[in-house]
Chains A and B, each alone.
Chain A
Amino acid sequence: MDKTLAGVKVIEMAQFISGPYCGLLLAGLGANVIKIEEPSVGDISRRCGPFLDNRPHPDQSGLFIYLNSNKRGITLDIKKPTGRQILIDLLKDANVLIEDMPPQLAQRLKLEYEHLKKVNPQLIVVSITPFGQTGPYRNYKAYAINASGIGGMSCIIGDPKREPLTPPFSLGNFQTGIIAANAVMFALTGQKKIGRGQHIDISEAESWAIFHTGNVVSSFIYSGRKRTRTGHRTPSPYPYTILPCKDGYLSMIALRGSEWKRFLEIVGDGKVPEWYSSDERFQDRLKAGQQYADILDNLLAPWLMAHTKKEIFARCREEHVPFTPIRNMDEVVNCEHLNQRGYFKEIDYLGEKKFKVPGPPVRFSQSLWNLSKPAPSLSEHNVEVYCEDLGYTQDQFRQLRNLDVI
């Protein structure tokens, strides 16, 4: 196996999740990723946790450790003229810059693409912002809950009478990160054709609004049907629902009538229960899903509440019914299937304790995926990058430190 992106130099001047996840995907495939953080403050994900025993420490945040393995970390104040100049030096032979400055800040610091391409015409600049580089909201502020709200994701999660729910944690930022990684690959391939770099404009709101929910708008234009929140079910042919059982919840989706019939036979011990087969209202599954779902939920409840997730899942597998348990995080992390596949990776945490983190999102047979180097502590690779890579003398280095540039 070989490192697909060996020799690709990436400068990551981005924090939290979107930019760093993009950088992580490139680092995992062998790119040389140098992460720039603000002196003494650092990436905001250093303050996010989770932390062991809930003891916050900037070098021990689980999120930061996961997202920044195999990167070298330096500190640099790009708002100071000297700092800006050092960044320019770093970019002279870089292939990719991942940055998440608000557009007006990039403009103020003269770090927009128009300036950077003069320094290095081959450079690929990925700009990640909440709303993109153009449009009336381009300078607006947004966190994950804002991006998912305006991007149309929240309005379809939750109860129709209550507030929309944002997807948990920072799923949207990860979507932005993988979109940015795709864009980097488009540009690396494009570079071979056009012989130069380019600027990529990535918007966190559009990570939802285009790829996840764009087709919902397309369908609305076509059919006039507006998608809204529908609670624990979708008004499709019954069942397309999540229902409680004895010790948790089950995801019950039957796209085919035959699957649903086989489940009813499990409930009725080999025969579709009388209460179902004799009731005219349930015979059209779509009508049942749209009008009588509450009644059906209640009729199924006694059987469901008498059985555990495990029991129901086992019976469903035997009968080829595609119903699956809603697993809690302990069941997921301890899952025999995932562990036998060697999915989780164990990270050594300060020599104190090992703990599991998610493994590679994709399995390649020939491209080596390797994240064995731990995430950098704040400014860990300053000497290595400034003195060895850029060739600054000890005196210059000391001076930069004294001037709070690094």
Chain B
Amino acid sequence: MLYRLNFLLNAVEDVVSPYPLEGYRIIDFGWAAAAPRATCLLADMGAEVIKVETRKRPDPVRFGPDNLTRDPERDPLFHSINRNKLSILLDLTNSQAVELIKRLIKMSDVVVENFSPGVMKRLGLDYEELKKIKSDIIMISFPGVGSEGPLSDVVTYGPSLAGLAGLDSLVGYENERVLGMQQAYADINAALHGAFAIQVALYHRERYGEGQHIEVAQIETLLSTMPEPVMHYSMNGRILETIGNRNSMMSVHNNYRCKGEDKWVSIAILTEEEWETFCKAIGDPPWTKKEKFADHDKRWVNRKELDRLISDWTITKTPHEVMEILQGAGVAATPCEDTEDRFLDPHFQERQILIDVEHPATGVDWVPNVICKLSETPGGIRRPAPLLGEHNDYVFGDLLGLSKDEIEKLIQEKIIF
């Protein structure tokens, strides 16, 4: 009997879904970077994410710099961050379209948006309105600097938020001009925190039966990951400037030039033990015995000379050769990999940081894999990024119950558009 029960339990376990968020439905008004990346994480784990688009103002990411064709169905970045999602078309400037989306929200768990503050209110879709449609709805917004406060009107792009948050003021060679991060770093950081916040709100709703509104002010989210420069100022009045690759705890802490074109290796040494094994691994050249490199403080003072001497050694080797030699001695040395290097790296290949998925327009896409590896509910990539309006029939027909004729009429009237 017990045996049979176990057998049955095992059978149940075998059909358990690998998608922990299966059953949740998310209406995603997001575009550009922050919101779509947040919902990407949740779609990977099984949430049904319905991306609301319109031909009137398509997601600019469908026409990014690497889309050489200008075909909205062939942008590699769009495909990377929108896989696993569904797409419907609705022109929300039309009141009938707003009514349709409200019906859909009534059947959903989460609403995601990253418009400028005020847009959802103008559409009649702000949190207070949505609560009337569904009392326990969860809504999340990603305003750049926050929906309230003296700067709330400022238009920001992801890269400029790194400037407003002070991050860019630190990025550049030591005490030289500011170069900045040159990427939408704040958006990605906000997306990761937003995905976490949505999950927290879902957990909260299961437990307390209530929905909520979440605000991810991207400037604040970024600052929460920069406590050191904030506290250098708030504790000691010290305003940090461009710091290059410097790290005050490590006198060896840089990217060193290697054999080959634009090839570099990152080496970092924290402890005295690591320093000693490092010296031995590079063959104990006489300079390592000099008094000026005898301890951390001395090496710190003479770090520029030290960097030059280490480069004289690394330049004779490839980054992978340096890694093999130094890791064998327990020293943190790794290739500084460019785009192509990462595609070819045997470790990343074994761990499949990229994964191929068939796509009707491109044939095959290589997209970044799921961000973390869960042993029992790993999620996965079930479908490629959607074509514009690919799931109109499923959403308007199967979910909202409109007939084929009704859908056709809405298309004719450019409401489904």
Contacts and interface: CB of A to CB of B under 8 A. Distances in A.
Are A and B bound to each other?
Answer: yes
Interface string A128-157: 000111111100111101101111101111
Nearest to B368: A214
A251 B168 contact: yes
Dominant SS among interface residues on chain B: mixed
Give the residue among B16, B220, B340 with the most A Cβ atoms within 10 A. B220
B374 A200 contact: yes
Give the residue among B80, B215, B241, B253 with the most A Cβ atoms within 10 A. B80
B286 interface: no
A210 B40 CA distance: 12
A63 B149 contact: no
B389 interface: no
Contacts of A317: 153-154
Give the residue among B171, B211, B225, B256 with the most A Cβ atoms within 10 A. B225
B374 A183 contact: yes
Contact of A194 (B169, B362, B377): B377
B79 interface: yes
A193 interface: yes
B21 interface: yes
B334 A5 contact: no
A149 B334 contact: yes
A190 B374 contact: yes
Given A135-B350, A210-B368, A242-B178, A157 B171 contact: yes
A201 B373 contact: yes
Contacts of B388: none
A209 B212 CA distance: 33
Nearest to B265: A149
Contact of B183 (A143, A156, A344, A353): A156
Given A187-B377, A355-B235, A362-B216, A324 B154 contact: yes
A165 B228 contact: no
A226 interface: yes
B397 interface: no
A341 B146 contact: yes
Contacts of B268: 143, 145-146
Interface in A39-68: 47-54, 62-63, 66-67
B223 interface: yes
A361 interface: yes
Contacts of B197: 362, 364
Contacts of A206: 351, 353, 371
Contacts of B202: 189
Given A231-B179, A324-B163, A152 B339 contact: yes
Contact of B225 (A174, A205, A366): A174
Contact of B223 (A198, A225, A358): A358
Given A66-B227, A154-B255, A360-B224, A132 B373 contact: yes
